[in-house]
Amino acid sequence: MIKLNGIEKMTNEQKYKYMLILLEGQLSSEKNDLANLSNAAAIIKAVMDKLNWAGFYILRGNALVLGMFQGLPACNRIEIGKGVCGTAVATKAIQCIENVNEFPGHIACDSASNSEIVIPIIIGDIVYGVLDLDSPEIGRFSKLEEKYLVKFVAKLNQYIDWSKI
């Protein structure tokens, strides 16, 4: 059982370090990838404040297909190159969007979202999907969040067999 006691007293960096500890605990105690990704999304949503959506899209052919997430129901499929998520896949680059309302082609699954960060999930040369976080606050995501979310995905990559999700 995950304990979040005292988290409100932590700095953001302490929270993000704790998030990685929780993830390691989950991944080292369970082998099922679906369970692990479900709780990975839940860990992010529980620990990072000011989020309205956190989850995964998994690449299937030319489309990202909705994976495990926390938040309101979201778009089922996003084509490569479309929206913030599809752009992260097309460019193989992190997308940190201060104000999604100014991002051409942003896909508004939840109208509460005002900023977004998307970390592509890449091993070697192969893109397997993305980790997507949305916030109602403009400019919610900085280099600090990016640093720890990259570590979060790197940790997932050690355990998850993305080709079988």
Give the binding site for ligand SME (CB under 6 A): 53, 74-75, 78, 83-86, 106-107, 109, 113, 116, 132, 134
- Nearest distance from C-beta of residue 140 to ligand SME, angstroms: 13
- Nearest distance from C-beta of residue 94 to ligand SME, angstroms: 13
**Identity of residue 52:** N
Among residues 4 and 60, whose Cβ is nearest to ligand SME?
A: 60
Among residues 39 and 71, whose Cβ is nearest to ligand SME?
A: 71
Contact indicator for 44, 19 with CB cutoff of 8 Å:
yes
Among residues 51 and 85, whose Cβ is nearest to ligand SME?
A: 85
- Nearest distance from C-beta of residue 131 to ligand SME, angstroms: 11
**Residue where the block lists tokens 């979040």:** 4
What are the distances in angstroms from CA 52 to CA 49, 83, 136?
A: 9, 18, 7
- Nearest distance from C-beta of residue 104 to ligand SME, angstroms: 10
Among residues 83 and 129, whose Cβ is nearest to ligand SME?
A: 83
